[in-house]
Amino acid sequence: MTNIVDREMLLKFARSFEGKSKCATCESLSCAGWESIPGGFITNTLESIGTLRVEDAPENWEEHHPKGTNMWSKDAPISISFHPYNKSDVYECRNCGCKYLRYTECGGYYVDERIRELNSDLISFD
């Protein structure tokens, strides 16, 4: 069964890594904002620990940027009921415990796996 993650739990996940240091694999991944997962990056060190997807929730493609950020901003808020967070899964690195969000962007002709590091300061209350 997939673990449904709410904001409370997401905060807990994010805080559980605070003050710790990243392993070399995570260190090589720079994703304070959303990034495509680099081709050479080994994703099998990342383990799914839950999902932000709510089954049967109405589709919401709206993004939430009250402070003028955009989807790619490093300081964009993590608003779990908005796109793309409402389509994201939560991952943890097996080596160091660093937490990430991941979702798959499906365009007409491509599929793009995207990843963003989970930062408790950016988890929004909207």
DSSP character at residue 68: S
Q: Residue 96, interface with Zn ion (CB under 5 A)?
A: yes
Please select the residue that binds Zn ion; options are 98, 115, 118, 123, rule is CB under 5 A.
98
Residues 57-86, one symbol each (x = binds Zn ion by CB under 5 A, - = not), give ------------------------------
Residues 20-39, one symbol each (x = binds Zn ion by CB under 5 A, - = not), give ---x--x-------------
Number of other residues whose CB lies within 10 A of the CB of residue 96: 16
Residue 78: name the closest of 60, 52, 59 by CA.
52
Least distance (Å) between residue 23 CB and Zn ion: 4
Instruction: Give CA 17 to chain center in angstroms.
Output: 14
Note whether 74 and 33 are within 8 A (CB).
Answer: yes
Positions touching Zn ion (CB under 5 A) are 23, 26, 93, 95-96, 98
